[in-house]
Structure 1
Amino acid sequence: MQRITESPRPDWQAQVEALGLTFHTADDHPYWDESAHYRFSSREIDQLEQATAELQRISIAAAERAIRDNWRDRLAISPQAWQEIIHSWDRDDLSLYGRFDLMWDGSGQPKMLEYNADTPTSLLEASVVQWQWLQQTRPHADQFNSIHEKLLTAWPSWPQQQIHFCAQRGSEEDWRTLLYLIDTCRQSGKTTLDLAVEDIGWNAGMQSFVDQQDHPMDLLFKLYPWEWMWLEDFSCHLPGRCQRFIEPVWKMLWSNKAFLVLLWEMFEGHPNLLRTSFKPDGMRDHVEKPYFSREGTNVRIVQNGSLLETTDGPWHAQPKVYQELHSDVSFSGNHPVIGSWIIGGEPAGIGIREDTSLITSNTSRFIPHWF
């Protein structure tokens, strides 16, 4: 694994905007950054794919254990949501996608930091944008990237011909991710309708969630976290209707950082896991994470018992987990995190985010890769 610098394409802004990546620059700094790229060997790509498949396997096993042994309290999930999780798991409600965040420099084994299993973004960048970069800059090379093809294959798994899509109003990144998913859904032969989360209604006569035209939503892809949905006023209507959503409600198990503790308890010493617990337990070097924090907020890194780095955010009052601090992965002062995608239950490719900070945030740069 190497980090290599080079000159960006002269018209890179126009190129990525044509694919829908309109948020390529933030505060005059590139978010999409092709002034560098990561080069892997084919052996390293095989290792990443194998690690991703293995993490998916043990995550399924741990979810089954969590339900069987009733780990609801340890995951801080409400009784109402827990019952829906059980029903959803028993129905085997389908999942479209997820993203493991891994730390690795090409030596040893990739280590799992967390599983963004409910509402992962950076999908557009990882799929078509970095593929275009590859085709234009080194067309004879390859890339660990079958995301687009696997999305097209996955959508027909749902029997509904029409699917609604929603995201929060005002979030450009979320909406660009949503529009890309809508495009893949249409390419698979389905029809789609989109609306803002804030415009979803409830029709008491039909006993159904409805769109602005009062049409019932038989299946809704929501780029909106389940833990937020259960706090909304309309959550009283969720029981008995959770099978109408993508991602399924059982994804609350995996997107919860307390799940990292349960994984470690079941698979202690696994080469792709970092020790994680509900207390520091003597770990002088650790990362403190709230159960449901997002985009690197409210994270604290402690080294040799002293605070090394921290971020602010709205999740400070949540319960925390404590994950062993991985040895520093740095390329010329840049710290990459490899987002390894699962589509339809299978490894599908990677996207890399990097930062000069040890904590990856929503402004961390996206760097393309090849092998």
Structure 2
Amino acid sequence: MQRLAVDPRPDWRERAEELGFAFHTIDGQPYWCEDAAYCFSAAQIDELDDAAQRLEEMSLDLVEDVVRRGAYEPFRLSDTACAMIEESWRRQDKNLYGRFDFAWAGSGPPKLLEYNADTPTALYESSVVQWEWLDSYCAHCDQFNGIHEMLIEAWKNFGLWGHRVHFTCVRDHAEDIGTVDYLRDTALQAGLETGRIFVDEIGWNGKRFVDLVAKPITVLFKLYPWEWLLQEGFAGHIGPSGVRMIEPAWKMLLSTKALLPLLWDRFPDHENLLPASFEADAIRGARVSKPFWGREGAGITRLAADGSIAEAVPGQAEIAEAADAMVWQQAVEMPCFDGFYPVLGVWMIASRACGLGIREDNSPITRNSSRFVPHLFE
């Protein structure tokens, strides 16, 4: 694994915008970066692929065990949420996508940092944008990137013929809107009928959810976390309405950091896991505290072996209100290339590993301002 210095294409912004990639620059700084690229061997890509696939199978095994035993207590979920999870899992509701984030420098086992199982972003740039870059930069090279084709295939296998799939997210958020528009496009390419609606536009007619023209919403893809959804005024209608949710309710068991200590308990000393616990004292040496529902690095603190704070990212309001809902994970020495710390995100589509997106920062904690850098392998 290497970090290559690359000459950016002089028209990269225009190319990005032609692809519909509107959020290539954030707060005046490039989010999509072409001044570098990560290079892997084919064997290294296979290692990442295998690690993600193993972890997906382990995660699904954990869900089955939790539902079978009714062991929901560690997740701090309401009775309503637990009932929805159980019904969803027993119906075998299909899931669409997720992303495992790894720390890895190309040798030894990749180590899982977290699983973004419910509302991962950076999808469009991982799929279409970096593929277009590769075609321009090195046509004879390859890329771990079957995301687009796998998404179309996954939609075809959902059994949604005769339904309109509504896609929703919050308004005034370019990244979320871009991700939803891309996923909607893949559903259209799969032959499905679709519609788009913002979360605050979803209506209720007394029996079912409806869109702005009073059409029933029978299938809803939501780029909106389940924990937020369950706080909405209409949350009590989700189960009785019969609406089919993507991601399904059982993904709540995989979308919080509670997954990390539970995986470690179930698969102790697994080569792709870091020791993790709900108790700080259970992790020796340098460690990281992570809020159950944190995203984009919010609320994460890295502690040195002596307990002093090495780095901390402020938390969001809802994280601060649940300050006791933390997990602790053994700190891993993050790889550093040219002063940048990459996190390797392996994409799962319909529970199959099929692509890689890399974000890097000049500190070990990846956050919403971190850069996206393309990759290739030879």
Deviations 1:77-107 (A, max 9, x none): 1111101101100111010111011110001
- Between 1:184-193 and 1:238-247, the stretch displaced more is 238-247
Q: Distance in 2 between matches of 1:357 and 1:316?
A: 22
- Is residue 72–residue 79 contact of structure 1 (8 Å, CA) maintained in 2? no
Q: Distance in 2 between matches of 1:230 and 1:328?
A: 35
Residue 295 of structure 2 corresponds to residue 322 of structure 1: no
Quote the residue 1:310 is aligned against. 312
Q: 1:358 pairs with 351, 364, 367, which one? A: 364
RMSD: 1.0
Secondary structure of the corresponding residue to residue 53 of structure 1: helix
Q: Distance in 2 between matches of 1:138 and 1:242?
A: 48
Quote the residue 2:264 is aligned against. 264
TM-score (norm 2): 0.96
Deviation, 1:284, is 2.9
- Paired residues, what number? 369
Q: Which amino acid aligns with 1:328?
A: M
- Is residue 104–residue 334 contact of structure 2 (8 Å, CA) maintained in 1? no
Q: Distance in 1 between matches of 2:125 and 2:39?
A: 17
Residue 60 of structure 2 corresponds to residue 56 of structure 1: no
Q: Distance in 2 between matches of 1:66 and 1:17?
A: 45
Runs (4+) of structure 1 exceeding 4 A deviation are none
Deviations 1:133-173 (A, max 9, x none): 00001001000000000011111122223211111011110
Q: Which amino acid aligns with 2:351?
A: G
Residue identity (%): 46
Quote the residue 1:337 is aligned against. 343
Output aligned runs, 1:1-371, within 5 Å: 1-161=1-161, 162-204=164-206, 207-241=207-241, 244-280=244-280, 281-304=282-305, 305-314=307-316, 315-318=319-322, 319-371=325-377
Deviation, 1:242, is 6.0
- Is residue 166–residue 217 contact of structure 2 (8 Å, CA) maintained in 1? yes
Q: Which amino acid aligns with 2:289?
A: E
- Is residue 88–residue 243 contact of structure 1 (8 Å, CA) maintained in 2? no
Q: Distance in 1 between matches of 2:133 and 2:362?
A: 23
Deviation, 1:181, is 0.6
CA change 1:241–1:340 in 2 (3 A) is: farther
Q: Distance in 2 between matches of 1:333 and 1:142?
A: 26
Gaps of 5+ in 2: none
CA change 1:28–1:149 in 2 (3 A) is: same
Q: Distance in 2 between matches of 1:299 and 1:141?
A: 37
- Is residue 84–residue 240 contact of structure 1 (8 Å, CA) maintained in 2? no
Deviation, 1:63, is 1.0
Gaps of 5+ in 1: none
Deviations 1:23-77 (A, max 9, x none): 1112221100110000000000010110011010100111111222322121101
CA change 1:282–1:159 in 2 (3 A) is: closer
Secondary structure of the corresponding residue to residue 321 of structure 1: strand
Q: Distance in 2 between matches of 1:267 and 1:241?
A: 38
Secondary structure of the corresponding residue to residue 320 of structure 2: coil
Deviation, 1:243, is 5.4
Q: Which amino acid aligns with 1:171?
A: H
Q: Which amino acid aligns with 1:273?
A: L
Deviations 1:159-212 (A, max 9, x none): 2232111110111100000111111111111111101000001011xx101101
Q: Which amino acid aligns with 2:44?
A: E
Deviation, 1:231, is 0.8
Secondary structure of the corresponding residue to residue 233 of structure 1: coil
- Is residue 119–residue 224 contact of structure 1 (8 Å, CA) maintained in 2? yes
Deviation, 1:282, is 4.6
- Is residue 95–residue 248 contact of structure 2 (8 Å, CA) maintained in 1? yes
Q: Distance in 2 between matches of 1:313 and 1:327?
A: 23
Q: Distance in 2 between matches of 1:144 and 1:132?
A: 13
Q: Which amino acid aligns with 1:20?
A: G
